[in-house]
Amino acid sequence: MPLRSAPLPRMAGHLSFMRAQTKAICDVRPGDLAVLGIPFEDTSAPYAGQSLAPRALRETSVYFGWHANPQFSHPVDIDARQDIQTDGLHERLCDLGDISPGPEDAIHAALKLATNQISRNGACAVILGGSDRLSATVQSALSNCQTAQLGGTPRDAHDFHIAPLPNGCASTGKSDTAAQLTKLSQWRDASKPLFVRFDLSVFETSLSALCDRPRLGGCDLATVAQWLSALGQHEVSAIMLTGLNPNRPGMGVVKVGQRLMVTAFLAFIYARLGFGIDHPGRQTSEENIPT
Amino acid sequence: MTAAITTFHPPLSQPGFRLFDGPLRDVADTSADQIGVVGMPSDWTHSSRLGTRFGPDALRRATTLLQSMRPQGASFDPDTGRRTVPAIDWLVDCGDAEVTAQDVDATTQAIAAMTEGLTVAGAIPLALGGDHYNSFPACLGYSRGLTKRSPDARFGYIQIDGHLDFSDRLGAWGTHNHATNARRISELPNIDVSNMVWVGIAGWVDGGDLALIEKQGGRIFSASDVHKMGAAEVMRQALAHAMQGCDELYLSIDIDAMDAGYLPGTGSIVHSGITPRQYYDLLDGLAEAPLAGLDIVEVSPPLDPSERTEFLAAEMLFRILRRFRTRPVTGL
C-alpha cells in the first residue's frame, strides 16, 4: 500500500527513512523495523559534523523508497536478477524521528529508554547515529546482549568482529566469508538479544570518502551487503549505523559515504523483512510488465 | 630589437576552452570525416543533484590539459602503439547549444538542430552534457539527420550507464528528464529496442522497466557482468547485439557507471560500479565500431571538489577519440 497515490519529488515532502510511515514509539509492533535518529555531536571526534549523519542517511534513503512511490513497480537486484517484493515494507518499516539534542546525559538516557522500549515491543531498533560512542548506551539497554560488529573500534573480545579491524591489527575480514558465516552461527546464542554495530569504516576507505576514521584494506560493498544480509536472518534487537560524517572538510558535497552505507543497509532490511527470498507467489520481472 | 613584436601573431583565437584545443567551427561549416562537438550545459531535467550545466566547460578544460592530443604536437600512445594527431581540423568545437532554462522543448530542439546539422553534413556529433536527458535531444538530431542522409538506415545504441533511464515518466518531471532518455530514444523511428544495449547497470533497478526492455529484445550487462566476463568480452557481445541489422552506432556515455569511490562528481552515484580501467577497456572495445554519434553526460564539477571526475571523463573521451586519425609510429 503506497503512502501516496501520486509521485513525490525526491527532495519534497516530510523526510523519513525510505519514506516510511512515522509512528510514536508506543505504537511500534512486533516485527517492525523502527528507525531512530541521534543527531549527537561527539566533541572528541576529529571533525565536527557527525550530528548531520541521521539527516544525511534519511535523505539518501529516499532514493530507495520504492514502496512509497507509485511510479515504480518493484526493485530488481540486477546482479542476482532477483525480484524483491517490497509490498509489506510500508507496514513494517517506521520512522520514530530523532532524539532531541540536549545535555549528553539526557541523550544517553533517552536513547537507552527508547531502545529498551522498542526491544520490549519485539521490534528491531534501527539507530541512525554518527558517533559510535553511543553504542555502549544501546548495549546497556539490551541486557546481556551479544554484539556483532562491522567496522569501528573493537571493545570486547566476546563480540563478533566481522571486518575490518583498525589499521595495523589482524583482520578477520580477509578470511573465507563462508567459514566466517559458520562461525557467526556457532557464536550466536538465540536466547540473548543481538546488537549489530555497522560503522562506515568497514568499507575500504577509498570507497567511503566521508568516514571519520578511515581504514585501509576495508571491504567492498558486496561483502558488507552479504554480511548484513546474513545478520538480517537473525532476530536482531538493534542495529546502529555510525562513522558517517557528512561534513568532512572539502567533502561536504560528496554524498558517497551515506549512499554507500544505505545501499549496503538495504540488504539488512530486505533480509530482516523476508524480502528477496524465494517464496510462493513471487512474481518475476517478466510478469510485471506495466500495461 | 623588434623581437617582442614579431612574437605577436594576429588574429588570436577566441578565448575560452575548446575540446582538446580543437578549432571553433560553425555547424554549417563542418564536413564529412569530422567530429563536431556540441555543448549541452543544461541540468534542469535532473531530479535531484544539479551541477552538470558546468560539465561541458569542465570537459573542455580538462581535455586541454591532457597531453595526449595537444596541438603542440603528436604524442605516442603506448596502448595502441600509435601516435595521436592533434585536433587541428578533424575535431571541431561548435560551441554550446542554446539552453532555455525551464523550457525543455526549446532546449531539446536547439540541441537537436545542431546534431542534425552535423549528421546531415556527414560529420559525427559529439555532445557534451549536461544531465543525461540531453542525450535524447542529441540522439534525436542524429536520428533526424540520419533519416535525411540515408532514409532506410537504422542505428544501434549502446548506453554505458549505472542506470537504465528507461522510465516512461518520473514524478513531477514528467516524460522528459534524466530518467527517461533511453525510453524516448527507443521511440525514434530508425531504432528498435532489440538493438539497444545497456552496459554497467548497478544495484537495484525498476522491475517494470527491466522486463519491458528484455521483452522487446534489449540486452543488459550489469556491472557485475563486467567484473565477471571482462570488459572486452562484454563490449564485444554488446556491439554484436546492438549492430544486428544496423548500419551505424550511437553511443551514450554516462560517467556514473563508474564506481562512486573513483568518480563522485555526478548526480546519481552508484556503488559496486565499474572501475576506471574497466570503463576504458569498454571504450577501447569500440575501436572498430561504426560510430556515427555519441554523447558524454553527467559530469558535475560542483559535486567533486577534487576535480578528478572531469579528468576521468576527459580520459574516457580520449579513449573513444584516439582511434580517429591515428597513424603507426614510424620511429621516434
Return d(Cα B300, Cα B124) in angstroms, integer: 24
Rounded to a whole number, what is the distance in Å from the CA of B40 to chain A's nearest CA?
23
Average pLDDT over residues B102-111: 94
Contact A256 B269 (CB under 8 A): yes
pTM of the model: 0.85
Contact B222 A78 (CB under 8 A): yes
Q: What percentage of chain A reaches a pLDDT higher than 70? A: 81
Query: Quick check: helix, strand or coil at residue A203?
Result: strand
- Considering only alpha carbons, which residue of chain B is nearest residue A206? B261
- Considering only alpha carbons, which residue of chain B is nearest residue A288? B208
Tell me the average pLDDT of chain B. 90
Average pLDDT over residues A248-258: 73
Contact A74 B207 (CB under 8 A): yes
- Is A104 within 8 Å of chain B by CB? no
Q: Which residues of A touch B305 (CB under 8 A)?
A: 250-251, 253-254
The angle, 0 to 180 degrees and rounded to 10, between the axes of the packed helices B231-242 and B276-284 is: 40
What is the Rg, in whole angstroms, of the alpha carbon atoms belonging to chain A?
Answer: 18
Q: Chain centroid to CA A109: how far? A: 22
Q: Which residues of B touch A220 (CB under 8 A)?
A: 272
Tell me the average pLDDT of chain A. 82
Helices (H) and strands (E) in chain A, counts: 8, 10
User: Is there a contact between A96 and A24 (Cβ–Cβ < 8 Å)?
Assistant: yes
Contact B269 A206 (CB under 8 A): no
Query: Quick check: helix, strand or coil at residue A163?
Result: strand
- Category of A13 on φ-ψ map: left (φ > 0), alpha (ψ -120 to 50) or beta: left
Select the more confidently predicted residue: B273 or B200. Answer: B200
Query: Quick check: helix, strand or coil at residue B324?
Result: coil
- Is A249 within 8 Å of chain B by CB? no
Helices (H) and strands (E) in chain B, counts: 10, 12
Residue A193 phi/psi, 5-degree rounding, is -65, 150
Q: What is the pLDDT of residue A208?
A: 73
- Considering only alpha carbons, which residue of chain B is nearest residue A64? B204
pLDDT tens track for B15-70 = 678 998 888 999 999 999 899 999 999 998 988 888 999 999 999 999 988 877 77
- Is A170 within 8 Å of chain B by CB? no
Contact B261 A256 (CB under 8 A): yes
Would the pLDDT of B278 be above 90? yes
Q: What percentage of chain B reaches a pLDDT higher than 90? A: 70
- The count of C-alpha atoms lying within 13 angstroms of the C-alpha of A29, restricted to the half-sphere facing its C-beta, is 6
Q: Which residues of B touch A255 (CB under 8 A)?
A: 49, 264, 269
Weakest mean pLDDT among A30-39, A64-73, A268-277, B21-30: A64-73
Contact B303 A254 (CB under 8 A): yes
- Is A256 within 8 Å of chain B by CB? yes
- State the complex-level ipTM: 0.76
Query: Quick check: helix, strand or coil at residue B290?
Result: coil
Q: What percentage of chain B reaches a pLDDT higher than 70? A: 92
β-bridge pairing A82-83 and A124-128: unpaired
Environment class of residue A139 by beta-carbon count within 10 Å: exposed (0-12), middle (13-18) or buried (19+)?
buried
User: Is there a contact between B149 and B120 (Cβ–Cβ < 8 Å)?
Assistant: yes
Return d(Cα A231, Cα B124) in angstroms, integer: 52
pLDDT tens track for A261-279 = 999 999 999 999 887 644 3
β-bridge pairing A194-199 and A146-150: parallel
Sole residue written with cell 522510465: B167
Select the more confidently predicted residue: B303 or B326. Answer: B303
> What is the number of other CB atoms lying within 10 angstroms of the CB of residue A231?
24
Residue A143 phi/psi, 5-degree rounding, is -60, 130
User: Is there a contact between A209 and A166 (Cβ–Cβ < 8 Å)?
Assistant: no
Is the C-alpha dihedral spanning B48, B49, B50, B54 positive or negative? negative
Nearest to B178 by CA among B129, B133, B140: B133
- Is B274 within 8 Å of chain A by CB? no
Return d(Cα B193, Cα A81) in angstroms, integer: 20
Q: 3-state DSSP: chain B helix, strand, coil percent, rounded to 5?
A: 40, 20, 45
Return d(Cα B104, Cα B44) in angstroms, integer: 8
Among A78, A204, A289, beta carbon nearest to B203: A78
pLDDT tens track for A162-207 = 865 544 444 444 456 778 888 889 999 999 999 999 999 888 877 7
β-bridge pairing B82-83 and B76-77: antiparallel
Among B211, B261, B304, beta carbon nearest to A285: B211
User: Is there a contact between B68 and B322 (Cβ–Cβ < 8 Å)?
Assistant: yes
Return d(Cα A74, Cα A78) in angstroms, integer: 12
Contact A208 B261 (CB under 8 A): yes
Return d(Cα B188, Cα B116) in angstroms, integer: 14
Return d(Cα B316, Cα B281) in angstroms, integer: 10
Contact A207 B261 (CB under 8 A): yes
What is the Rg, in whole angstroms, of the alpha carbon atoms belonging to chain B?
Answer: 19
Cell numbers describing residue A210: 566521508
Residue type, B122: G
Nearest to B155 by CA among B231, B37, B239: B239
Is the C-alpha dihedral spanning B222, B227, B229, B233 positive or negative? positive
Among B47, B222, B260, beta carbon nearest to A79: B222
Select the more confidently predicted residue: A2 or A28. Answer: A28
pLDDT band at residue B255, thresholds of 50, 70 and 90? Answer: very high
Q: Which residues of A touch B204 (CB under 8 A)?
A: 64, 66, 75-78, 84, 266
User: Is there a contact between B281 and B232 (Cβ–Cβ < 8 Å)?
Assistant: yes
Would the pLDDT of A234 be above 80? yes
- Is B263 within 8 Å of chain A by CB? no
Which of B224, B271, B300 would you mutate first to test chain A, the one with the most A CBs within 10 A? B271
